[in-house]
Amino acid sequence: MQLQPYLFFEGRCDEALEFYRTALGAELTMLLRYKDSPDPTMCMPGTLDKVMHSSFRIGDTTVCASDGRCVGPPQFQGFSLSIAVSTEAEADRLFAALCPGGQVLMPLTKTFYSPRFGMVHDKFGVLWMVLVAQ
């Protein structure tokens, strides 16, 4: 069994994929656009070039993403994605890469459970927790 997060970017998936490639070193492993669907009834007007399904890897984890129905801003509520790294320098680098256009909820700081922990909503609204694993 495998559990994979699936993110719906409501029309901004291409932008998100590029952002995560640059910020986190994400590797795109699959991309299917609505226009590639064998069933044209799956395509809402104006979505032919939008992402129906994609998957990308960050480290050892696969994340799936789509443009969804393209009906408004994405709603990422009630969860976060956590990145555990082995060094403070790597935590600093990744946290800084996720911040542009986003909102820091907790700056990277030393906690009782990690020498570095911080939380940031990226520019798409996805909440990330970055920490040094011990």
Q: Are residues 11 and 42 in the same domain?
A: yes
Q: Are residues 60 and 89 in the same domain?
A: no
Backbone φ and ψ for 103, nearest 5 degrees, come out as -140, 120
Q: Is 76 a domain residue?
A: no
Of the residues 66, 97, 116, which one is the last residue of a structural domain?
66
Confidence (pTM): 0.94
Tell me which H or E stretch contains 88. helix 88-98
- Report the Cα 133 to chain-centroid distance in Å: 20
Q: Are residues 11 and 59 in the same domain?
A: yes
CATH number of the domain at 25, please: 3.30.720.100
- Report the Cα 44 to chain-centroid distance in Å: 24
Q: Are residues 17 and 59 in the same domain?
A: yes
User: Residue 63's beta-bridge partner residues?
Assistant: 56
Average pLDDT of the chain is 95
Q: What is the pLDDT of residues 58-114, one digit of tens each?
A: 999 999 999 998 888 999 999 999 999 999 999 999 999 999 999 999 999 999 999
What percent of the chain has pLDDT above 90?
85
The number of distinct structural domains making up the chain is: 2
Q: Are residues 88 and 111 in the same domain?
A: yes
pLDDT at 40 exceeding the cut of 80? no
Range of the domain at 95: 81-132
